[in-house]
Chains A and B, each alone.
Chain A
Amino acid sequence: MQPITSITAHNSTQPPSSQPIPASEKIKYLLVGLFGVGLWYALYSQLHRLAELLAFSLLGLKPGSHLGESVLFFFYDTPKVFMLLTLIVFAVGIIRSFFTPERTRKILAGKRESVGNVLAALLGIVTPFCSCSAVPLFIGFVTAGVPLGVTFSFLISAPMVNEIALVLLYGLLGWKVAALYLGTGLLIAIVAGWTIGRLHMENHIEEWVREMHLNAAQIPDEQLTWADRIGHGRTAVRDIVGKVWIYVIAGIAVGAGIHGFVPEYFMAQIMGKEAWWSVPISVLIGIPMYSNAAGIVPIVEALLGKGAALGTVLAFMMSVIALSLPEMIILRKVLKPRLIAVFIGVVGAGIMLVGYLFNNII
């Protein structure tokens, strides 16, 4: 007969391979990881030289010529973006294996509003959920007693603070722009959610949601090993890089075209600081546009290089990734039109504010 302890040691839902790894395994993972990052960095630091070699020596293009600069931009940015993307998506995949929507809900349920808004915005970055889960997630949060405003902070931050956008901004425009994006994205999610909470619009949620009494389902809590978590990272790379590579290349190609052929300061008149109307128009244009963060950032970089103002361009990017028409349509199933309008209004206003702020201080 089997001793009882061996049964309790295993959760029935987990695959039999899940054993706690011994310390020596952990050290092995750590060493392999360090070696990998070292190799990654060595290659990364040589990319510009390789791109020059390819564009100017091998293809014989002239440095400084329109075509030469475009081709160099493409050959340099494409591998750079892919290397950054792979590293970050892998790391984020591992971090996300520590969070689930169920755990996040447990943390947020019963939190006071202001604290809850901040927590929700932060958790929005690291909680994995498929974008089409937004509606079930909304129902799950609201019925579990997560305040409406806190739920919104989560739903705004999740798409707005996007790890792909963050890494691309860092790689193409430097850490300052990336930090600005991260900080203001979080701030918009916190303040917009808080504002929606202050407006007390609970009765603008569809009746059937409010009447719903969820019996908290018994959902198996998975016990993951480090091997599982690394597997999560790998799956994330395969899924995300496999999905966005085409947008990245298209984005970089458009960016390369702008970079080499559009005259300097051309964008200054349309998207420059002096054109005050450019911020609201950028936000409006961004709403129906639905693009991947991966495709939009190379274009952003190219626009900036041609004299577009940072605030305007950031506002445009945030609007494209955070306010999407398909999401609004799907949220209509649980929210009445007025609440959706308030959602768009508050988030849009926040994005515009960020746009003006950066146009005026930088």
Chain B
Amino acid sequence: MEIKVLGPGCAKCSEAEKIMRAAVDEAGVTATIDKISDFQQIAKHGVFSTPAVVIDGQIKCVGKVPSKSEALAWLKG
């Protein structure tokens, strides 16, 4: 599973990354988590409100920090 957390690097973005890491640990799935802070890369994903979470190329949420239960649901789904 390939997880990308998109965000230039404010407090909210790192919180989103932390939650995704915690969710991956809890779900026990194997996944790579990349933090993408380059604006050009973010824009290429078609995302313009951050933080955003992309799993295997699919946008899961934009413009907010996901809750852990949301994140777990994405990982299991």
Residues of A within 8 A of B (CB): 12-13, 15, 100-102, 105, 128-133, 135-137, 139-141, 143, 208-209, 212, 214-220, 330, 333-334
Contact = CB atoms under 8 A, between A and B. Distances in A.
Contact of A130 (B12, B69, B70): B12
Contacts of A13: 60-61
Interface of B: 7-10, 12-13, 39-40, 42-51, 59-63, 69-70, 73, 77
A140 to B, nearest CB: 3
Contacts of B51: 130
Contacts, number: 84
Given A128-B63, A132-B10, A136-B47, 14 more contacts: A100-B49, A101-B49, A105-B48, A132-B7, A132-B12, A132-B13, A135-B8, A135-B39, A139-B43, A140-B47, A140-B48, A209-B43, A212-B44, A220-B59
Nearest 8 pairs of A and B residues by beta carbon: A140-B48, A217-B46, A132-B10, A101-B49, A136-B48, A139-B43, A132-B8, A133-B50
A140 B52 CA distance: 14
B63 A101 contact: yes
A129 B43 CA distance: 16
B3 to A, nearest CB: 16
B17 to A, nearest CB: 14
B43 A143 contact: yes
Contacts of A216: 46
Given A15-B70, A334-B39, A218 B59 contact: yes
Contact of B43 (A100, A105, A214, A218): A214
Contacts of B40: 208, 212
A215 B48 contact: no
B73 A15 contact: yes
A16 to B, nearest CB: 9
A101 B50 CA distance: 10
Nearest to B12: A130
24 contacts: A12-B77, A15-B69, A100-B49, A101-B63, A102-B49, A128-B63, A130-B10, A130-B63, A132-B8, A132-B9, A136-B39, A136-B48, A139-B39, A140-B47, A140-B48, A141-B48, A212-B43, A212-B44, A217-B45, A217-B47, A218-B59, A219-B46, A219-B47, A334-B39
B36 to A, nearest CB: 11
B63 A100 contact: yes
B69 A101 contact: no
A219 B47 CA distance: 8
Given A128-B63, A129-B63, A136 B50 contact: yes
A135 B73 CA distance: 30
Contacts of A218: 59
Best-surrounded residue of A128, A135, A209 (most CB of chain B within 10 A)? A135
B43 A133 contact: no
A217 B39 contact: no
A202 B25 CA distance: 46
Contacts of B48: 101, 105, 133, 136-137, 139-141
Contacts of B73: 15
B56 to A, nearest CB: 14
B50 A130 contact: yes
A136 B8 contact: yes
Contacts of A140: 43, 47-49
